[in-house]
């Protein structure tokens, strides 16, 4: 694990464009930011502001067009494909708006799958995570037998199975009703406080910022606001 308050993500003059070189569409423009371990960052902004693109660039799922993104002190462009894949297996986890559970696997097997990919198997850890996310007793149920909130809890457990340092969450409450959304946000806050997980959250809801320690507001691909949220 990285040490307390160590910088885990850095962006320097990062821009992202799509389309042809003749007619590029700029989505991010000269982003500069640093994220430390134990930060719980909420990225907000209107639709089309670049929130999800920024999350993908920060995590290495997409490459910046220009500028440098570093993970754990190492510029992403210098990482080999194998090392970046290892980061995704062991050091960073992902939670998405759509739960992406495998429909023909039960709860236990969906979580185990992430361990199998990482060539590990720890039944005790799966049991602890099921307890942590409030899903003990549902191990043998299939996704279609679960509510949206329960499926998202399973997705969070799966993202944590290999004990990542950073959790990237893209609209994790977007498909949930208000009550389930609050429960998921409270769970993420618990992970941040008790396990010191760094969380980078994209959300359309300003209400979710109440669970964060820091707010980044985007507009037209630029950072308009970056401030600490009092807890």
Domains of the chain in sequence order: 7-228 (3.40.50.300)
pLDDT above 70 (res 2): no
With left for phi above 0 and alpha for psi between -120 and 50, is residue 128 left, alpha or beta?
alpha
Segment 142-163 shows an average pLDDT of: 96
pLDDT value for 5 = 59
pLDDT above 90 (res 114): no
pLDDT value for 4 = 47
pLDDT above 90 (res 118): no
Phi, psi of 103 (to 5 degrees): -65, -30
Report the run of H or E that residue 83 belongs to, with start and end.
Answer: helix 81-86
Cβ-proximal residues to 133 (8 Å cutoff; 6+ apart), any chain: 153, 154, 156, 157, 187
Residue range 174-214, pLDDT digits in tens: 999 999 999 999 999 999 999 999 999 999 999 999 999 99
């Amino acid at each position: 694990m990285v040490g307390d308050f160590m910088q885990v993500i850095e962006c320097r003059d990062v821009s992202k464009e799509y389309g042809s070189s003749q007619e590029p569409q700029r989505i991010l423009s000269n982003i500069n930011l640093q994220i430390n371990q134990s930060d719980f960052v909420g990225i907000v902004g209107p639709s089309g502001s670049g929130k999800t693109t920024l999350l993908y660039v920060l995590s290495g799922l997409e490459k910046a067009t220009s500028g440098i993104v570093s993970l754990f002190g190492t510029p992403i462009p210098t990482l080999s494909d194998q090392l970046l894949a290892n980061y995704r297996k062991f050091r960073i986890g992902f939670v998405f708006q759509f739960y992406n559970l495998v429909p023909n696997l039960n709860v236990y097997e969906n979580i185990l799958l992430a361990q199998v990919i990482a060539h590990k198997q720890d039944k005790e850890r799966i049991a602890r995570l099921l307890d942590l996310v409030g899903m003990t007793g549902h191990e043998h149920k299939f996704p279609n037998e679960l509510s949206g909130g329960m499926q998202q809890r399973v997705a969070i457990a799966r993202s944590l199975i290999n004990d990542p340092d950073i959790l990237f969450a893209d609209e994790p409450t977007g498909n949930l009703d208000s009550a389930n959304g609050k429960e998921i946000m409270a769970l993420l806050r618990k992970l941040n406080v008790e396990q010191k997980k760094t969380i980078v959250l994209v959300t359309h809801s300003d209400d979710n910022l109440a669970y964060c320690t820091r707010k980044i507001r985007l507009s037209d691909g630029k950072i308009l606001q970056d401030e600490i949220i009092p807890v």
